[in-house]
């Protein structure tokens, strides 16, 4: 049974441990806060955007934050800010864990939940930003949307947990160049 509110779903009963996740519509709204913001995003703006999302920066750490999702997440934090190596006064993106990394003994119960959420999130993001480019490998699945202003969204199903990664336009361009370079070398 799933208990639902407008922003979260509680899967604790099905998972056998504390396990909640954003509703697909709320995740899409959180993504809009980031991807539709003017880039580049400064450190100060990052703190404000995290606050708008209901995320709390870790005390004394300008790279880690916790989300409002209550879960059995055994990590110290739920998300991280990545600063641009070329200009650390701006961010190159954020990473947010959308589901907990559950203990081994709970994986059989949480995997169907995580895979279902991946499908719901995929549909919600696709409604907002069109069809993604999809990849699969032994580690899991990922879907990538590159928006017209070069911000990219990466939805990652890493077998047993979900993560979202947002890249700045500069980081998206660097990543695209690197992938093209690798592909060019393979064709030689």
pTM assigned to the model: 0.88
Beta bridge partners of residue 21, listed in sequence order: 9
Spatial distance between the Cα atoms of 103 and 94, rounded to a whole number of angstroms = 25
Q: Other C-beta atoms within 10 Å of 89: how many?
A: 10
Spatial distance between the Cα atoms of 81 and 176, rounded to a whole number of angstroms = 20
Q: Which of the residues in the chain have pLDDT under 50?
A: 1-4, 71-73, 185
pLDDT per residue as tens digits for the range 142-173: 999 999 999 999 999 987 899 999 999 999 99
Q: Say what the pLDDT of residue 2 is.
A: 42
Whether residue 84 contacts residue 40, with contact meaning beta carbons closer than 8 Å, is answered with yes
Spatial distance between the Cα atoms of 155 and 165, rounded to a whole number of angstroms = 7
Q: Say what the pLDDT of residue 124 is.
A: 97
Q: Say what the pLDDT of residue 180 is.
A: 59
């Amino acid at each position: 049974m799933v208990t639902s509110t407008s922003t979260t779903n509680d899967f604790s009963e099905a998972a056998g441990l504390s396990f909640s996740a954003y509703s697909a519509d709320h995740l899409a709204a959180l993504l809009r806060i980031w991807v539709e913001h003017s880039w580049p995003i400064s450190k100060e703006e990052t703190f404000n955007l995290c606050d708008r999302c209901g995320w709390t920066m870790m005390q004394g750490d300008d790279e880690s934050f916790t989300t409002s999702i209550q879960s059995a997440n055994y990590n110290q934090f739920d998300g991280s800010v990545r600063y641009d190596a070329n200009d650390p006064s701006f961010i190159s993106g954020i990473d947010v864990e959308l589901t907990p990394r559950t203990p081994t003994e709970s994986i059989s119960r949480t995997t169907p939940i995580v895979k279902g959420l991946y499908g719901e999130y995929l549909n919600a993001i696709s409604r907002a930003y069109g069809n993604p480019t999809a990849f699969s490998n032994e580690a899991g699945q990922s879907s990538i949307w590159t928006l017209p202003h070069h911000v990219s969204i990466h939805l990652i199903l890493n077998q047993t947990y979900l993560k979202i990664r947002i890249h700045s336009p500069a980081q998206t361009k660097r990543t695209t160049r690197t992938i093209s370079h690798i592909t060019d070398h393979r064709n030689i």
